[in-house]
Amino acid sequence: MYMKINNLSFKYENSNFDNLNNINMEIKKGEIIGVLGESGCGKSTLLRVIAGLEIPYIGNIIINDKIVMNQKVFIEPEKRGIGMIFQDYALFPHMTIDKNITFGLRKFSKKDKKNILDNMIELVGLKDHLGKYPYQLSGGQQQRVAVARALAPNPSILLLDEPFSNLDSHLKNQIRMDMKEILNKLETTCIFVTHDKEDVLSLSNRVITISDGLIKDNYLVEKMVDIL
């Protein structure tokens, strides 16, 4: 397996219960996993733990045969090679689209930056918007910029937190299809959290449902459409 999470539990300091309770997951390379659950169930916390933004009190995480977290090891977030797209996209308003996309490529040469930028722009279809600022783009275009920025450093895993919640309903279907095409083309391993059943049906290969910090179900979407 490309990624393994074993016996992982996490609790916020002000919580009286485990926000994540004995989480176990295995993910194949290139798989797109949808984590489905209501607000407050622990799904966004799971992404934060995987990214290294929160520290569980027990458990381990292994990515591509490398331990990134256990009782003795903790790899800092910036060294995990994980890309993350937040619900509000978190684009830099004072930077043009090209600067936003190449922001995480500071250690790359100028030539490599240019090549990566060209590839990302073609991938997300924003060639005519390079010199614009985020406020000049639609919500769907802003999301494409966020996707390009997250994918530019070639992350080992891409994490998405409620990726379609800020989009108008008439845009969602097209953006879901575009996102799936991009992830499949790059064979990107992806975990996204959502409360929308249509998101997991449209984008994911497999869905995991979480309730009160516990994994309740884990199944292939194509076999379980009727259940959802």
Average pLDDT, the chain: 90
The average pLDDT across 137-146 equals: 89
Residue 178 or residue 222, greater confidence: 178
Question: In order of start, what are the domains of the chain with their CATH numbers?
Answer: 31-41+74-227 (3.40.50.300)
The average pLDDT across 107-115 equals: 91
Least Cα distance to 31 among 67, 71, 3 occurs for 3
At 223 the pLDDT is 58
pLDDT over 80 (residue 22)? yes
Taking CA atoms, 116 is separated from 102, 126, 151, 153, in Å, by 8, 14, 10, 8
The average pLDDT across 193-222 equals: 88
pLDDT above 90 covers a percentage of the chain that reads 63
pLDDT over 80 (residue 222)? no
Give the lowest-confidence range in 86-90, 120-124, 135-139. 86-90
The average pLDDT across 6-28 equals: 94
pLDDT in tens, 55-99: 999 999 999 999 999 999 999 999 999 999 887 778 999 999 999
Confidence of residue 218 (pLDDT cuts 50, 70, 90): confident
Q: Please report the beta strands in the chain, taking only residues with DSSP state E, as ranges in sequence order.
A: 3-10, 20-27, 32-36, 58-63, 66-69, 82-85, 157-161, 190-194, 206-211, 214-220
